[in-house]
Chains A and B, each alone.
Chain A
Amino acid sequence: MSLELQLVLLLWGTLVGLDLVSVPQMMIARPIVAGPIAGAMLGDLGAGLQLGVLFELFQYDVLPMGATRYPEYGPATVAAVSAAHGAAGALGLGLGALVGLVTAMLGGLSMYIVRRATARAVHAVTDRLEAGDARLLVRLHVSAIARDALRAAAVTAAGLGFAHLVRLFLAGTLPLRGVTLLGIAAVAAALAAATAGTLRVVGRGASLAWFVAGVLGGTVLVWLR
Protein backbone atom coordinates (compact mmCIF):
# COMPACT_ATOMS: atom_id res chain seq x y z
CA MET A 1 0.00 0.00 0.00
CA SER A 2 1.43 3.38 -1.01
CA LEU A 3 2.34 6.08 1.47
CA GLU A 4 -0.23 8.39 -0.16
CA LEU A 5 -3.01 5.88 0.50
CA GLN A 6 -1.86 5.44 4.09
CA LEU A 7 -1.98 9.21 4.56
CA VAL A 8 -5.48 9.40 3.08
CA LEU A 9 -6.60 6.65 5.49
CA LEU A 10 -4.91 8.51 8.35
CA LEU A 11 -6.84 11.67 7.49
CA TRP A 12 -10.12 9.74 7.21
CA GLY A 13 -9.49 7.95 10.50
CA THR A 14 -8.77 11.30 12.19
CA LEU A 15 -12.05 12.81 10.93
CA VAL A 16 -13.89 9.68 12.02
CA GLY A 17 -12.30 9.81 15.48
CA LEU A 18 -13.14 13.50 15.82
CA ASP A 19 -16.75 12.86 14.83
CA LEU A 20 -17.40 10.34 17.59
CA VAL A 21 -17.57 12.88 20.42
CA SER A 22 -16.17 16.27 19.42
CA VAL A 23 -17.27 17.55 15.99
CA PRO A 24 -19.93 17.24 14.50
CA GLN A 25 -21.36 13.86 15.59
CA MET A 26 -22.89 13.24 12.17
CA MET A 27 -22.07 9.54 12.57
CA ILE A 28 -19.26 9.12 10.07
CA ALA A 29 -17.74 7.53 13.19
CA ARG A 30 -20.15 4.60 12.83
CA PRO A 31 -18.33 1.56 11.41
CA ILE A 32 -21.04 1.15 8.75
CA VAL A 33 -19.86 4.50 7.33
CA ALA A 34 -16.15 4.52 8.28
CA GLY A 35 -15.54 1.03 6.84
CA PRO A 36 -17.10 1.32 3.37
CA ILE A 37 -15.55 4.77 2.79
CA ALA A 38 -12.12 3.40 3.79
CA GLY A 39 -12.75 0.44 1.47
CA ALA A 40 -13.69 2.77 -1.39
CA MET A 41 -10.47 4.73 -0.81
CA LEU A 42 -8.49 1.50 -1.13
CA GLY A 43 -10.48 0.37 -4.17
CA ASP A 44 -11.84 -2.55 -2.12
CA LEU A 45 -15.44 -1.65 -1.32
CA GLY A 46 -16.28 -5.29 -0.55
CA ALA A 47 -13.80 -5.47 2.35
CA GLY A 48 -15.00 -2.07 3.57
CA LEU A 49 -18.65 -3.15 3.62
CA GLN A 50 -17.83 -6.48 5.26
CA LEU A 51 -15.74 -4.92 8.05
CA GLY A 52 -18.26 -2.08 8.35
CA VAL A 53 -21.06 -4.55 9.03
CA LEU A 54 -18.86 -6.57 11.41
CA PHE A 55 -17.91 -3.59 13.60
CA GLU A 56 -21.38 -2.01 13.40
CA LEU A 57 -22.57 -5.18 15.14
CA PHE A 58 -19.91 -4.72 17.85
CA GLN A 59 -21.10 -1.12 18.18
CA TYR A 60 -24.54 -2.28 19.39
CA ASP A 61 -22.81 -3.41 22.57
CA VAL A 62 -21.99 0.23 23.36
CA LEU A 63 -24.31 2.98 24.62
CA PRO A 64 -22.24 6.20 24.75
CA MET A 65 -23.96 7.58 27.84
CA GLY A 66 -22.42 10.12 30.21
CA ALA A 67 -18.97 9.44 31.56
CA THR A 68 -18.85 5.73 30.72
CA ARG A 69 -15.69 4.34 29.11
CA TYR A 70 -16.27 2.50 25.85
CA PRO A 71 -14.23 1.22 22.89
CA GLU A 72 -13.86 3.47 19.86
CA TYR A 73 -14.84 1.50 16.76
CA GLY A 74 -14.53 4.26 14.08
CA PRO A 75 -10.75 4.58 13.55
CA ALA A 76 -10.56 0.87 14.47
CA THR A 77 -12.73 0.01 11.46
CA VAL A 78 -10.48 2.10 9.18
CA ALA A 79 -7.43 0.18 10.44
CA ALA A 80 -9.33 -3.12 10.13
CA VAL A 81 -10.18 -2.42 6.48
CA SER A 82 -6.52 -1.63 5.85
CA ALA A 83 -5.57 -5.03 7.37
CA ALA A 84 -8.23 -6.90 5.39
CA HIS A 85 -7.51 -5.12 2.10
CA GLY A 86 -6.75 -7.74 -0.52
CA ALA A 87 -7.52 -10.69 1.79
CA ALA A 88 -10.86 -12.12 0.77
CA GLY A 89 -13.52 -13.86 2.93
CA ALA A 90 -12.69 -15.43 6.27
CA LEU A 91 -9.05 -14.26 6.28
CA GLY A 92 -10.06 -10.63 5.79
CA LEU A 93 -12.67 -10.89 8.54
CA GLY A 94 -10.25 -12.53 10.98
CA LEU A 95 -7.32 -10.18 10.38
CA GLY A 96 -9.60 -7.16 10.32
CA ALA A 97 -11.28 -8.15 13.59
CA LEU A 98 -7.92 -8.70 15.31
CA VAL A 99 -6.58 -5.29 14.25
CA GLY A 100 -9.91 -3.52 14.80
CA LEU A 101 -10.60 -4.83 18.30
CA VAL A 102 -7.10 -4.00 19.56
CA THR A 103 -7.33 -0.50 18.00
CA ALA A 104 -10.82 0.01 19.49
CA MET A 105 -9.45 -0.77 22.94
CA LEU A 106 -6.60 1.68 22.42
CA GLY A 107 -9.10 4.30 21.21
CA GLY A 108 -11.20 3.94 24.37
CA LEU A 109 -8.13 4.33 26.58
CA SER A 110 -6.93 7.38 24.62
CA MET A 111 -10.30 9.13 25.11
CA TYR A 112 -9.98 8.67 28.86
CA ILE A 113 -6.46 10.18 28.82
CA VAL A 114 -7.53 13.17 26.70
CA ARG A 115 -10.57 13.87 28.90
CA ARG A 116 -8.34 13.91 31.96
CA ALA A 117 -5.89 16.26 30.21
CA THR A 118 -8.77 18.60 29.32
CA ALA A 119 -10.00 18.49 32.92
CA ARG A 120 -6.51 19.55 34.08
CA ALA A 121 -6.47 22.40 31.52
CA VAL A 122 -9.90 23.58 32.75
CA HIS A 123 -8.88 23.31 36.38
CA ALA A 124 -5.75 25.42 35.76
CA VAL A 125 -7.81 28.43 34.60
CA THR A 126 -10.85 28.11 36.86
CA ASP A 127 -10.45 31.62 38.33
CA ARG A 128 -10.41 33.28 34.89
CA LEU A 129 -13.39 31.20 33.77
CA GLU A 130 -15.30 32.28 36.85
CA ALA A 131 -14.49 35.88 35.92
CA GLY A 132 -16.32 35.32 32.61
CA ASP A 133 -13.34 35.51 30.24
CA ALA A 134 -15.10 34.57 26.98
CA ARG A 135 -11.93 34.54 24.87
CA LEU A 136 -10.28 32.11 27.23
CA LEU A 137 -13.41 29.95 27.19
CA VAL A 138 -13.34 29.68 23.40
CA ARG A 139 -9.56 29.11 23.36
CA LEU A 140 -9.90 26.32 25.90
CA HIS A 141 -12.65 24.71 23.82
CA VAL A 142 -10.71 24.93 20.54
CA SER A 143 -7.53 23.56 22.11
CA ALA A 144 -9.51 20.62 23.52
CA ILE A 145 -10.85 19.87 20.03
CA ALA A 146 -7.29 20.04 18.65
CA ARG A 147 -6.20 17.65 21.41
CA ASP A 148 -8.95 15.22 20.38
CA ALA A 149 -7.91 15.50 16.72
CA LEU A 150 -4.34 14.62 17.67
CA ARG A 151 -5.64 11.70 19.70
CA ALA A 152 -7.73 10.41 16.79
CA ALA A 153 -4.73 10.73 14.45
CA ALA A 154 -2.49 8.86 16.89
CA VAL A 155 -5.01 6.04 17.34
CA THR A 156 -5.51 5.70 13.58
CA ALA A 157 -1.74 5.75 12.97
CA ALA A 158 -1.22 3.04 15.59
CA GLY A 159 -4.02 0.97 14.04
CA LEU A 160 -2.62 1.33 10.54
CA GLY A 161 0.85 0.39 11.83
CA PHE A 162 -0.58 -2.70 13.54
CA ALA A 163 -2.49 -3.57 10.35
CA HIS A 164 0.76 -3.39 8.38
CA LEU A 165 2.51 -5.73 10.84
CA VAL A 166 -0.39 -8.20 10.80
CA ARG A 167 -0.45 -8.28 6.99
CA LEU A 168 3.32 -8.71 6.93
CA PHE A 169 3.79 -11.41 9.59
CA LEU A 170 0.44 -13.17 10.05
CA ALA A 171 -1.48 -13.18 6.78
CA GLY A 172 0.67 -15.68 4.90
CA THR A 173 1.54 -17.96 7.80
CA LEU A 174 -1.91 -19.08 9.01
CA PRO A 175 -3.06 -22.57 7.96
CA LEU A 176 -6.43 -22.84 6.19
CA ARG A 177 -8.27 -24.10 9.30
CA GLY A 178 -6.70 -21.31 11.33
CA VAL A 179 -7.95 -18.76 8.81
CA THR A 180 -11.48 -20.20 8.95
CA LEU A 181 -11.52 -20.31 12.76
CA LEU A 182 -10.30 -16.72 13.00
CA GLY A 183 -13.10 -15.60 10.68
CA ILE A 184 -15.68 -17.60 12.65
CA ALA A 185 -14.45 -16.06 15.91
CA ALA A 186 -14.80 -12.56 14.47
CA VAL A 187 -18.35 -13.04 13.16
CA ALA A 188 -19.56 -15.02 16.21
CA ALA A 189 -18.28 -12.37 18.63
CA ALA A 190 -19.85 -9.56 16.60
CA LEU A 191 -23.25 -11.30 16.42
CA ALA A 192 -23.16 -12.17 20.11
CA ALA A 193 -22.17 -8.61 21.09
CA ALA A 194 -24.97 -7.13 18.97
CA THR A 195 -27.61 -9.54 20.28
CA ALA A 196 -26.66 -9.20 23.95
CA GLY A 197 -26.24 -5.41 23.64
CA THR A 198 -29.64 -5.00 22.00
CA LEU A 199 -31.36 -7.28 24.51
CA ARG A 200 -29.91 -5.22 27.37
CA VAL A 201 -31.60 -2.11 25.93
CA VAL A 202 -34.81 -3.90 24.92
CA GLY A 203 -35.27 -5.53 28.34
CA ARG A 204 -38.21 -7.77 29.18
CA GLY A 205 -40.97 -5.28 28.31
CA ALA A 206 -43.19 -4.92 25.25
CA SER A 207 -40.20 -4.17 22.99
CA LEU A 208 -39.03 -7.76 23.40
CA ALA A 209 -41.97 -8.94 21.26
CA TRP A 210 -40.96 -6.44 18.56
CA PHE A 211 -37.39 -7.74 18.73
CA VAL A 212 -38.56 -11.35 18.28
CA ALA A 213 -40.79 -10.26 15.38
CA GLY A 214 -37.79 -8.55 13.78
CA VAL A 215 -35.58 -11.62 14.16
CA LEU A 216 -38.29 -13.81 12.63
CA GLY A 217 -38.83 -11.37 9.77
CA GLY A 218 -35.11 -11.15 9.08
CA THR A 219 -34.78 -14.94 9.16
CA VAL A 220 -37.58 -15.29 6.62
CA LEU A 221 -35.85 -12.77 4.37
CA VAL A 222 -32.55 -14.70 4.61
CA TRP A 223 -34.39 -17.94 3.82
CA LEU A 224 -36.18 -16.37 0.82
CA ARG A 225 -32.87 -15.15 -0.58
Chain B
Amino acid sequence: MTRARRPPLGRSLLRLFTVQGSWNYERLQGIGVGVAEEPLLRDLRAGENGAAYRAAVARGAHFFNAHPYLCGLAVGAAARAEHEGATPEQVERLRSALCGPLGSLGDRLVWAGWLPVTSALALIGVALGLGLDAVIGFLVVYNVGHVGLRWWALWAGWTHGVRVAVALHQPLLQRAAAWSGPAMALAVGMALPLSAGYLGGAFTGWAREVLAVATAAGCALLWWGRGRLTGLRYGLALLAVAALVGWLWR
Protein backbone atom coordinates (compact mmCIF):
# COMPACT_ATOMS: atom_id res chain seq x y z
CA MET B 1 0.00 0.00 0.00
CA THR B 2 1.46 3.39 -1.08
CA ARG B 3 0.01 6.70 0.07
CA ALA B 4 0.65 9.79 -2.06
CA ARG B 5 1.81 12.60 0.25
CA ARG B 6 0.50 15.43 -1.87
CA PRO B 7 -1.47 14.18 -4.88
CA PRO B 8 -1.01 16.37 -8.01
CA LEU B 9 -4.75 16.93 -8.32
CA GLY B 10 -4.18 20.26 -10.15
CA ARG B 11 -2.22 18.58 -12.95
CA SER B 12 -4.80 15.83 -13.20
CA LEU B 13 -7.60 18.42 -13.33
CA LEU B 14 -5.86 20.27 -16.18
CA ARG B 15 -5.59 17.02 -18.12
CA LEU B 16 -9.25 16.30 -17.43
CA PHE B 17 -10.16 19.34 -19.51
CA THR B 18 -8.85 17.34 -22.49
CA VAL B 19 -10.40 14.02 -21.41
CA GLN B 20 -12.34 13.58 -24.65
CA GLY B 21 -9.47 14.69 -26.92
CA SER B 22 -8.78 11.12 -28.00
CA TRP B 23 -12.40 9.91 -27.96
CA ASN B 24 -12.64 6.93 -30.32
CA TYR B 25 -14.88 3.99 -31.14
CA GLU B 26 -12.50 1.46 -29.53
CA ARG B 27 -11.97 2.72 -25.97
CA LEU B 28 -14.27 5.77 -26.03
CA GLN B 29 -12.84 8.06 -23.29
CA GLY B 30 -10.33 5.45 -22.06
CA ILE B 31 -7.15 7.08 -23.40
CA GLY B 32 -8.11 10.51 -22.04
CA VAL B 33 -8.98 9.06 -18.63
CA GLY B 34 -5.64 7.24 -18.56
CA VAL B 35 -3.79 10.46 -19.41
CA ALA B 36 -5.62 12.33 -16.63
CA GLU B 37 -4.95 9.57 -14.08
CA GLU B 38 -1.26 9.20 -14.86
CA PRO B 39 0.01 12.12 -12.67
CA LEU B 40 -1.81 10.60 -9.67
CA LEU B 41 -0.02 7.29 -10.21
CA ARG B 42 3.56 8.57 -10.26
CA ASP B 43 4.15 7.65 -6.62
CA LEU B 44 3.82 4.02 -7.68
CA ARG B 45 6.99 4.25 -9.78
CA ALA B 46 9.15 3.51 -6.77
CA GLY B 47 9.74 -0.19 -6.14
CA GLU B 48 9.43 -3.30 -8.31
CA ASN B 49 11.01 -1.39 -11.23
CA GLY B 50 7.81 0.57 -11.66
CA ALA B 51 5.75 -2.52 -12.47
CA ALA B 52 2.84 -1.34 -10.30
CA TYR B 53 2.93 2.06 -12.00
CA ARG B 54 2.93 0.60 -15.52
CA ALA B 55 0.15 -1.83 -14.72
CA ALA B 56 -1.96 0.97 -13.22
CA VAL B 57 -1.33 3.23 -16.23
CA ALA B 58 -2.40 0.43 -18.56
CA ARG B 59 -5.60 -0.17 -16.56
CA GLY B 60 -6.33 3.56 -16.48
CA ALA B 61 -6.43 3.68 -20.29
CA HIS B 62 -8.90 0.84 -20.72
CA PHE B 63 -12.42 1.39 -22.07
CA PHE B 64 -14.31 4.08 -20.21
CA ASN B 65 -17.44 6.05 -20.94
CA ALA B 66 -19.18 8.59 -18.70
CA HIS B 67 -20.07 12.24 -18.69
CA PRO B 68 -16.81 14.16 -19.37
CA TYR B 69 -17.27 16.56 -16.45
CA LEU B 70 -17.63 13.66 -14.00
CA CYS B 71 -14.76 11.51 -15.32
CA GLY B 72 -12.62 13.00 -12.55
CA LEU B 73 -14.59 10.97 -10.03
CA ALA B 74 -13.47 7.73 -11.67
CA VAL B 75 -9.93 9.06 -12.19
CA GLY B 76 -9.54 10.05 -8.53
CA ALA B 77 -11.23 6.93 -7.17
CA ALA B 78 -9.24 4.51 -9.35
CA ALA B 79 -5.93 6.25 -8.56
CA ARG B 80 -6.70 6.15 -4.84
CA ALA B 81 -7.63 2.48 -5.08
CA GLU B 82 -4.30 1.75 -6.83
CA HIS B 83 -2.46 3.51 -3.98
CA GLU B 84 -4.40 1.59 -1.36
CA GLY B 85 -3.36 -1.72 -2.89
CA ALA B 86 -6.68 -2.74 -4.44
CA THR B 87 -6.42 -5.75 -6.73
CA PRO B 88 -6.54 -5.22 -10.52
CA GLU B 89 -9.97 -6.87 -10.58
CA GLN B 90 -11.28 -4.46 -7.92
CA VAL B 91 -10.01 -1.45 -9.88
CA GLU B 92 -11.54 -2.73 -13.13
CA ARG B 93 -14.84 -3.43 -11.35
CA LEU B 94 -14.82 0.05 -9.82
CA ARG B 95 -14.30 1.67 -13.24
CA SER B 96 -17.01 -0.45 -14.88
CA ALA B 97 -19.44 0.24 -12.06
CA LEU B 98 -18.96 4.00 -12.38
CA CYS B 99 -19.58 4.28 -16.15
CA GLY B 100 -23.38 4.03 -16.04
CA PRO B 101 -24.13 6.23 -12.98
CA LEU B 102 -21.65 8.95 -13.97
CA GLY B 103 -22.99 9.01 -17.52
CA SER B 104 -26.60 9.15 -16.45
CA LEU B 105 -26.07 11.71 -13.67
CA GLY B 106 -23.93 13.97 -15.87
CA ASP B 107 -26.35 13.82 -18.76
CA ARG B 108 -29.26 14.80 -16.49
CA LEU B 109 -27.30 17.39 -14.56
CA VAL B 110 -25.39 19.06 -17.39
CA TRP B 111 -26.52 18.15 -20.93
CA ALA B 112 -30.23 18.18 -20.05
CA GLY B 113 -30.00 20.65 -17.16
CA TRP B 114 -27.31 23.24 -16.52
CA LEU B 115 -26.34 23.74 -20.19
CA PRO B 116 -29.83 24.28 -21.67
CA VAL B 117 -30.86 26.39 -18.64
CA THR B 118 -27.92 28.79 -18.99
CA SER B 119 -28.06 28.88 -22.79
CA ALA B 120 -31.82 29.56 -22.66
CA LEU B 121 -31.14 32.44 -20.27
CA ALA B 122 -28.63 33.76 -22.84
CA LEU B 123 -31.28 33.50 -25.58
CA ILE B 124 -33.74 35.38 -23.35
CA GLY B 125 -31.09 38.03 -22.67
CA VAL B 126 -30.32 38.51 -26.37
CA ALA B 127 -34.03 38.67 -27.23
CA LEU B 128 -34.52 41.32 -24.52
CA GLY B 129 -31.72 43.42 -26.01
CA LEU B 130 -28.78 42.62 -23.72
CA GLY B 131 -26.63 41.70 -26.74
CA LEU B 132 -23.07 40.59 -26.06
CA ASP B 133 -23.52 40.97 -22.27
CA ALA B 134 -25.94 38.04 -22.31
CA VAL B 135 -23.38 35.92 -24.17
CA ILE B 136 -20.55 36.79 -21.77
CA GLY B 137 -22.88 36.20 -18.82
CA PHE B 138 -23.66 32.73 -20.20
CA LEU B 139 -19.97 31.86 -20.57
CA VAL B 140 -19.14 33.01 -17.03
CA VAL B 141 -22.12 31.45 -15.24
CA TYR B 142 -21.96 28.17 -17.17
CA ASN B 143 -18.25 27.75 -16.54
CA VAL B 144 -18.50 28.46 -12.82
CA GLY B 145 -20.68 25.34 -12.67
CA HIS B 146 -18.56 23.46 -15.19
CA VAL B 147 -15.18 23.99 -13.52
CA GLY B 148 -16.70 23.54 -10.06
CA LEU B 149 -18.19 20.19 -11.04
CA ARG B 150 -14.95 18.94 -12.60
CA TRP B 151 -12.97 19.91 -9.49
CA TRP B 152 -15.52 18.44 -7.07
CA ALA B 153 -15.59 15.15 -9.03
CA LEU B 154 -11.82 14.71 -8.93
CA TRP B 155 -11.58 15.71 -5.27
CA ALA B 156 -14.47 13.43 -4.25
CA GLY B 157 -13.00 10.51 -6.21
CA TRP B 158 -9.59 10.89 -4.56
CA THR B 159 -11.12 11.40 -1.11
CA HIS B 160 -13.43 8.38 -1.15
CA GLY B 161 -11.47 5.89 -3.30
CA VAL B 162 -13.33 2.59 -3.67
CA ARG B 163 -16.17 3.95 -1.50
CA VAL B 164 -16.84 6.69 -4.05
CA ALA B 165 -20.53 5.75 -4.33
CA VAL B 166 -20.98 7.80 -1.12
CA ALA B 167 -20.12 10.95 -3.09
CA LEU B 168 -22.84 10.24 -5.64
CA HIS B 169 -25.45 10.29 -2.89
CA GLN B 170 -24.61 13.85 -1.79
CA PRO B 171 -27.95 15.59 -1.03
CA LEU B 172 -26.94 18.68 -3.02
CA LEU B 173 -26.19 16.58 -6.10
CA GLN B 174 -29.46 14.69 -5.78
CA ARG B 175 -31.45 17.92 -5.38
CA ALA B 176 -29.68 19.49 -8.37
CA ALA B 177 -30.44 16.43 -10.51
CA ALA B 178 -34.09 16.51 -9.43
CA TRP B 179 -34.47 20.22 -10.21
CA SER B 180 -32.51 20.27 -13.47
CA GLY B 181 -35.43 18.88 -15.52
CA PRO B 182 -38.11 21.40 -14.43
CA ALA B 183 -35.60 24.29 -14.55
CA MET B 184 -34.60 23.38 -18.09
CA ALA B 185 -38.22 23.02 -19.19
CA LEU B 186 -39.14 26.42 -17.73
CA ALA B 187 -36.11 28.29 -19.12
CA VAL B 188 -36.24 26.81 -22.62
CA GLY B 189 -40.03 27.18 -22.69
CA MET B 190 -39.64 30.87 -21.94
CA ALA B 191 -36.79 31.29 -24.46
CA LEU B 192 -38.81 29.84 -27.36
CA PRO B 193 -41.46 32.60 -27.82
CA LEU B 194 -38.89 35.30 -27.08
CA SER B 195 -36.53 33.87 -29.72
CA ALA B 196 -39.44 33.59 -32.14
CA GLY B 197 -40.24 37.25 -31.51
CA TYR B 198 -36.58 38.22 -31.93
CA LEU B 199 -36.03 36.32 -35.20
CA GLY B 200 -39.57 36.91 -36.48
CA GLY B 201 -39.00 40.66 -36.38
CA ALA B 202 -37.54 40.32 -39.89
CA PHE B 203 -41.00 39.39 -41.27
CA THR B 204 -44.35 41.15 -41.62
CA GLY B 205 -47.87 40.36 -42.90
CA TRP B 206 -48.34 37.07 -44.78
CA ALA B 207 -44.77 36.03 -43.99
CA ARG B 208 -45.60 35.74 -40.28
CA GLU B 209 -48.55 33.47 -41.01
CA VAL B 210 -46.42 31.23 -43.22
CA LEU B 211 -43.79 31.18 -40.46
CA ALA B 212 -46.35 30.02 -37.87
CA VAL B 213 -47.69 27.27 -40.17
CA ALA B 214 -44.20 26.02 -41.13
CA THR B 215 -43.14 25.98 -37.47
CA ALA B 216 -46.23 24.05 -36.36
CA ALA B 217 -45.85 21.58 -39.24
CA GLY B 218 -42.18 21.15 -38.36
CA CYS B 219 -42.96 20.46 -34.70
CA ALA B 220 -45.49 17.80 -35.68
CA LEU B 221 -43.19 16.17 -38.27
CA LEU B 222 -40.19 16.14 -35.92
CA TRP B 223 -42.27 14.78 -33.05
CA TRP B 224 -43.85 11.94 -34.97
CA GLY B 225 -40.82 11.27 -37.15
CA ARG B 226 -38.32 11.22 -34.27
CA GLY B 227 -35.52 8.77 -34.86
CA ARG B 228 -35.77 9.30 -38.61
CA LEU B 229 -36.21 13.05 -39.12
CA THR B 230 -33.82 15.51 -37.44
CA GLY B 231 -33.95 19.29 -37.12
CA LEU B 232 -31.06 19.56 -39.57
CA ARG B 233 -32.79 17.46 -42.22
CA TYR B 234 -36.06 19.33 -41.77
CA GLY B 235 -34.17 22.62 -42.08
CA LEU B 236 -32.40 21.61 -45.29
CA ALA B 237 -35.63 20.24 -46.81
CA LEU B 238 -37.56 23.40 -45.91
CA LEU B 239 -34.82 25.63 -47.35
CA ALA B 240 -34.89 23.63 -50.60
CA VAL B 241 -38.69 23.96 -50.84
CA ALA B 242 -38.49 27.70 -50.02
CA ALA B 243 -35.83 28.26 -52.70
CA LEU B 244 -37.89 26.38 -55.30
CA VAL B 245 -41.14 28.20 -54.49
CA GLY B 246 -39.26 31.49 -54.44
CA TRP B 247 -37.92 30.91 -57.94
CA LEU B 248 -41.32 29.89 -59.33
CA TRP B 249 -43.36 32.60 -57.54
CA ARG B 250 -41.65 35.68 -58.95
Taking beta carbons and an 8 Å cutoff, which residues of A are in contact with B? 21-28, 30, 32-33, 36-37, 40, 45, 49-50, 52-54, 56-67, 71, 89-90, 93-94, 97-98, 101-102, 104-105, 115-116, 118-119, 121-123, 129-134, 137-138, 140-142, 144-145, 148, 174-175, 177-202, 205-208, 210-215, 217-219, 221-222, 225
Known A-B contacts A27-B115, A32-B138; the reply to A101 vs B239 at CB < 8 A is yes
B32 at the interface (CB under 8 A from A): yes
Q: B38 and A186: CB pair below 8 A?
A: no
Known interface pairs A26-B139, A175-B246, A207-B185. Does A138 touch B18 (Cβ–Cβ under 8 Å)?
no
What's the Cα separation between A150 and B111 when bound, in Å? 26
Q: Return A2 CB to nearest CB of chain B, in Å.
A: 23
Cβ–Cβ contact B214 & A185, under 8 A: yes
A122 touching B27, Cβ below 8 Å = yes
A18 to B, closest residue via Cβ: B21
Taking a contact as CB atoms closer than 8 A, the residue among B17, B123, B183 that contacts A23 in the complex is B17
- B202 close to A (CB within 8 Å): yes
Contact A189 B211 (CB under 8 A): no
- Can you give 30 A-B contacts (C-beta < 8 A)? A21-B21, A24-B17, A27-B138, A45-B132, A54-B199, A61-B232, A66-B103, A98-B239, A116-B25, A122-B26, A134-B53, A142-B21, A179-B246, A181-B210, A183-B203, A185-B238, A185-B239, A187-B211, A189-B239, A192-B216, A193-B218, A198-B192, A210-B181, A213-B189, A214-B188, A214-B190, A215-B192, A217-B190, A218-B190, A225-B128
CB distance from A50 to the nearest CB of B (A): 7
Q: Which residues of A contact B226 (CB under 8 A)?
A: 196, 200
On chain A, the residues within 8 Å of B239 by CB distance are 94, 97-98, 101, 182, 185-186, 189
Main secondary structure of the interface of B (DSSP, over half): helix
Give the number of chain B interface residues (Cβ < 8 Å). 98
Interface of chain B residues 201 through 222 with chain A (CB within 8 A)? 202-203, 207, 210-211, 214-219, 221-222
The residue from A40, A61, A201 contacting B112, defined by CB atoms under 8 A apart? A201
Q: Which 5 residue pairs of A and B lie closest in terms of their CB atoms, listed nearest first?
A: A214-B189, A178-B246, A193-B231, A192-B218, A132-B54
Given A101-B236, A187-B200, A188-B214, A138:B22 Cβ within 8 A: no
Q: Which residues of A are found within 8 Å of B191, using beta-carbon distances?
A: 214, 218
Q: How far is the CB of B248 from chain A (nearest CB, A)?
A: 9
Using a CB–CB cutoff of 8 Å, the interface residues on chain B facing chain A are 17-18, 20-28, 31-32, 34-35, 38, 53-58, 61, 65, 68-69, 103, 107, 111-112, 115-116, 119, 122-124, 126-128, 131-132, 135, 138-139, 142-143, 146, 181-200, 202-203, 207, 210-211, 214-219, 221-223, 226, 230-232, 234-236, 238-239, 241-243, 245-247, 249-250
Knowing A71-B232, A97-B235, A222-B194, say if A118 contacts B24 (CB, 8 Å). Answer: yes
Contact partner of B207 (CB less than 8 A), chosen from A54, A64, A180, A192, is A180
The number of residue pairs between A and B whose CB atoms lie closer than 8 Å in the complex comes to 353
Which B residues are in CB contact (< 8 Å) with A121? Answer: 24
In the bound complex, do residue B139 and residue A201 qualify as a contact, i.e. CB atoms below 8 Å apart?
Answer: no
For the complex, give the distance between the alpha carbons of A52 and B136 in Å: 13
Q: A201 and B184 in contact (CB under 8 A), knowing A140-B22, A191-B195, A212-B189?
A: yes
Task: Provide the bound-state CA to CA distance between A207 and B127, in Å.
Answer: 24
Write the nearest CB–CB distance from B143 to chain A, whole angstroms.
5
Residues in A whose Cβ lies below 8 Å from that of B55: 132
Q: A184 contacts which of B124, B132, B214, B230 (Cβ < 8 Å)? A: B214
- Say whether B31 contacts A144, CB under 8 Å: yes
Q: How far is the CA of A179 from the CA of B199 in the complex (A)?
A: 15
Task: Identify the interface centre among B32, B132, B196, B219: most chain A CB within 10 Å of its CB.
Answer: B196
Report B190 CB to chain A, min CB distance, Å. 4
B15 to chain A, nearest CB (A): 9
With beta carbons under 8 angstroms apart, the residue of A22, A66, A134, A202 that contacts B185 is A202
Also in contact, A53 and B123, with CB within 8 A (given A25-B146, A178-B243): yes
* Chain A residues, CB < 8 A from B138: 27, 30, 32-33
In the complex, the answer to whether A30 meets B119 with C-beta atoms within 8 Å is yes
Q: What's the Cα separation between A158 and B219 when bound, in Å?
A: 30
Question: Contact at B185–A50, with CB atoms within 8 Å?
Answer: no
**What residues of A have a CB within 8 angstroms of the CB of B184 in the complex?**
198, 201-202, 207
Q: Within the complex, which residue of B65, B112, B126 is in contact with A53, where a contact is CB–CB below 8 Å?
A: B126
